[in-house]
Chain A
Amino acid sequence: MSEFLQQLLNGLSLGAIYALIALGYTMVYGVLRFINFAHSDVFMVGAFIGYYLGKLVPENTVWGGLVVLLAAMIGCAVLGMVIERLAYRPLRGAATLNVLITAIGVSLLLEYSGQVFFGATPRTFPAVFPSSNYSFGSLVISSNQILVIVVAALLMVALQLIVYRTKIGTAMRAVSLNPKAAQLVGVNNDVVISFTFGLGSALAGAGGILYALNYPSIDPLMGVMPGLKAFVAAVLGGIGNIPGAALGGLLLGTVETFVNGSQWSTYKDAIAFAILIIILLFRPAGLLGKFTVEKV
């Protein structure tokens, strides 16, 4: 039983990070109907901002950690908006495939310029937050795991409030529903899209820091696998659906952890993805997604 609880906990803390990245994918898809493949590399940049800034603030302090977290979120938000402005906005209205290819291009550009500027060698991420372990019987939880779950939960609640309780959130939903109609009633689409990218990228930045705290070895290609898993999580939950992305992330993290701890650990990705395929067979729009007929 305690092994089950421990694995559940491990799975939730991994899933919370997937969920944070998945939110970025899903938000951009919701507004623009395309997959921003560069998102996972924004996540990597977030971790590197933390790496360089982490050396300037005192280690093992809460305020130092929060400063690093905030700075990474702001840095990534700016990066996300710059990417949108330079790479995607000129292609607005072009075929989705063109934008998709551009996204892959931006992703590769970030990864390999990362190798040039940061070096390809893995770096050790500084311990910016104080860390300790708590045990409850045979159950052990580290403060970093708690931090991941708490920060992820807080950010998701904040996101939900922004989308449903603010003016800009209403505008986002309007653009998502029908961009042309939104423009007609006075919504500035460019501002809304820019804001969406900023918000999604900020979450990726936070995800980068939390990931690096738990797995303190970072390199320019670190975003590739978590990014892929988060994308799958977004599809699993129903792409374009915010609670769906969170649910998908948690589910994927938990399944992966349970398979990993079993004797079939060699096949963990195969099993995780097989589950995805089965779920999509029965619910093609994802767990929480609404099935809509494409209008021709």
Chain B
Amino acid sequence: MPPRETDWLKTCYASPWLRAALPLDTSMTLALRSSFALCATLLATTATFAAEPIKLGEFASMTGKEAVFGQNVNKGTRLAIEETNAAGGVLGRKLELITEDDQSKPGESATVVKKLISRDKVVVILGEITSGRTLEAAPIAQAAKIPLISPGATNVEVTAKGNYIFRVCFIDDFQGTVMAKFARDTLKLKRVAILSSVSSAQSVGLAKYFRERFTSPTTAIAAEQKYGEGDKDFRAQLTAIKAAGADGIFIPGYYAEAALICKQARDLGLKLPLLGVDGWESPDLIAIAGAAAEGCYLSTHFSPESKSPVVVAFNQRYQKRWGISSNALSVLGYDAAMLAIDAIRRAGSTDGAKIRDALALTTNYPAVTGSITFDTNRNPTKNAVVLTVKNGKFTFVQDVSP
């Protein structure tokens, strides 16, 4: 059956090619990737009806404040799709990835996820790396009964949004505990101050867990200060923390603000250890903060320095495909996509409810970031790693199991 003209147009419109034509600075990489996607789409639509590709939707911060996150996750996701397609696809069909940019803005995620569901008719949604934007999209995916797998939303509330929401990362309850223990037992800190964001769901949650877990008869929170997303001046809060006599600062937040906080803390003569979270892991942190980032500690999902054969093999494939080394974000993107593909295979169908059931039954799935078994709340139990910044590079410090 020759494809109807309207079908062809719809596929073309749905393909990221048109969006890649937007002259944003990521357009070049998008265009390269999309030319593959478009070729695949065209080939598929002109071939038989049965070989129509399975559409996976991804929403990510490809531009804007957290662009580094979205772009890295996207590289991992695309690697997963390309590897699967090279190995013959799934259920005898090729996969097609449709990536939407949420511009790192609140409000935009809901719009692009609605578009992915209603216009592109994707079978699974992958994203987002941040908790705030995943929380925004989750109710939409839940209502449409389309499984959503977040690569990196660590806020506890995310999977509580419904039984179609999954994640491949640990949760903040655990991450807060890891950093509290690290501050108390490894760094032997007694009075740590918290500087958290009022507008990030992840930051609010992490501040709470850190406060609960760090406080003990011999240790206390010296001060608690807040900032808003997009703030540039943190000298006032840091001066207050300095006056409170803190011996360390816990800063749950994203790299854009964290980098400026590190820089201004050092400018104010604060030489104490700065403790961060997974949202810090970006080359931009080091580019903006420079020498001020040296000696900071952060917890994250994965260290590319790991010697496990799965990680080494992944790093080689990633390096070969993109010419850069992998990081936690790209690996999480890869894991989320591979888990989705695995679930489609196990479900033997592209029906949302069947994929959901297959996902919920995931047991000991060998992901690059560690084995994934979902608990009843659709959260995996995974290890965390602590990294530090040494000579302008993220360096492995220790592994922490729950």
Q: Quick check: is A122 within 8 A (CB to CB) of the other chain?
A: yes
- Residue in A219, A260, A263, A265 whose beta carbon sits within 8 Å of that of B65 in the complex: A219
Cα distance, A217 to B263, chains bound together (Å)? 11
Q: Are A216's CB and B263's CB within 8 A? A: yes
Q: Quick check: is A120 within 8 A (CB to CB) of the other chain?
A: yes
Cα distance, A257 to B238, chains bound together (Å)? 11
Q: Quick check: is A6 within 8 A (CB to CB) of the other chain?
A: yes
Q: Are A116's CB and B239's CB within 8 A? A: no
Q: When each residue 153-189 of chain B gets 1 if its CB lies under 8 Å from chain A and 0 otherwise, what string results? A: 0000000000000000000000000000000000000
Q: Quick check: is B7 within 8 A (CB to CB) of the other chain?
A: no
Q: Quick check: is A251 within 8 A (CB to CB) of the other chain?
A: no
Q: How far is the CB of B26 from chain A (nearest CB, A)?
A: 8
Q: Are A121's CB and B226's CB within 8 A? A: no
Closest Cβ neighbor of B27 among chain A residues: A119
Closest Cβ neighbor of B240 among chain A residues: A261
Q: Are A119's CB and B63's CB within 8 A? A: yes
Chain B residues whose C-beta falls within 8 Å of the C-beta of A140 in the assembled complex: 267-269
Chain A residues whose C-beta falls within 8 Å of the C-beta of B390 in the assembled complex: none
Chain A residues whose C-beta falls within 8 Å of the C-beta of B287 in the assembled complex: 124
Q: Quick check: is B324 within 8 A (CB to CB) of the other chain?
A: no
A119 in contact with B239 given A124-B284, A140-B267, A142-B267 (CB within 8 Å): no
Q: When each residue 46-85 of chain B gets 1 if its CB lies under 8 Å from chain A and 0 otherwise, what string results? A: 0000000000000000011101100000000000000000
Q: Quick check: is A258 within 8 A (CB to CB) of the other chain?
A: yes
Q: Quick check: is A278 within 8 A (CB to CB) of the other chain?
A: no
Q: When each residue 200-223 of chain A gets 1 if its CB lies under 8 Å from chain B and 0 otherwise, what string results? A: 000000000001001111010010
Q: Are A14's CB and B24's CB within 8 A? A: no
Having A10-B233, A215-B233, one finds 17 other A-B pairs with CB under 8 Å, namely A3-B240, A7-B236, A7-B239, A10-B235, A121-B64, A122-B67, A124-B284, A133-B269, A140-B267, A214-B232, A215-B232, A215-B260, A259-B236, A261-B239, A262-B240, A265-B227, A269-B228
Q: When each residue 121-137 of chain A gets 1 if its CB lies under 8 Å from chain B and 0 otherwise, what string results? A: 11010000000010100
A216 in contact with B239 given A120-B67, A133-B267, A140-B269 (CB within 8 Å): no
Q: Using CB atoms and an 8 Å cutoff, list the residues of chain A in contact with chain B.
A: 2-3, 6-7, 10-11, 14, 115-116, 118-122, 124, 133, 135, 140, 142, 144, 211, 214-217, 219, 222, 225, 256-263, 265-266, 269
Q: Are A14's CB and B233's CB within 8 A? A: yes
Q: Quick check: is B288 within 8 A (CB to CB) of the other chain?
A: yes
Cα distance, A268 to B267, chains bound together (Å)? 23
A6 in contact with B239 given A119-B24, A120-B24 (CB within 8 Å): yes
List, sorted by A's number, 21 A–B pairs whose CB atoms are closer than 8 Å: A3-B239, A3-B240, A3-B243, A10-B233, A10-B236, A115-B24, A119-B26, A121-B63, A121-B64, A122-B65, A140-B268, A215-B233, A217-B256, A217-B259, A217-B260, A217-B288, A256-B236, A257-B233, A260-B233, A265-B236, A265-B237
Cα distance, A135 to B267, chains bound together (Å)? 10
Task: Tally A-B pairs: CB < 8 A.
Answer: 96
Q: Are B236's CB and A120's CB within 8 A? A: no
Q: Quick check: is B230 within 8 A (CB to CB) of the other chain?
A: yes
Cα distance, A246 to B23, chains bound together (Å)? 39
Closest Cβ neighbor of A3 among chain B residues: B243
Cα distance, A118 to B64, chains bound together (Å)? 11
Counting from the closest, the 7 A-B pairs by CB-CB distance are A119-B25, A260-B236, A215-B232, A261-B236, A3-B243, A120-B63, A261-B240
Chain B residues whose C-beta falls within 8 Å of the C-beta of A262 in the assembled complex: 240
Cα distance, A261 to B268, chains bound together (Å)? 14
Q: Quick check: is B198 within 8 A (CB to CB) of the other chain?
A: yes
Closest Cβ neighbor of B290 among chain A residues: A127
Chain B residues whose C-beta falls within 8 Å of the C-beta of A225 in the assembled complex: 230
Q: Are B260's CB and A266's CB within 8 A? A: no
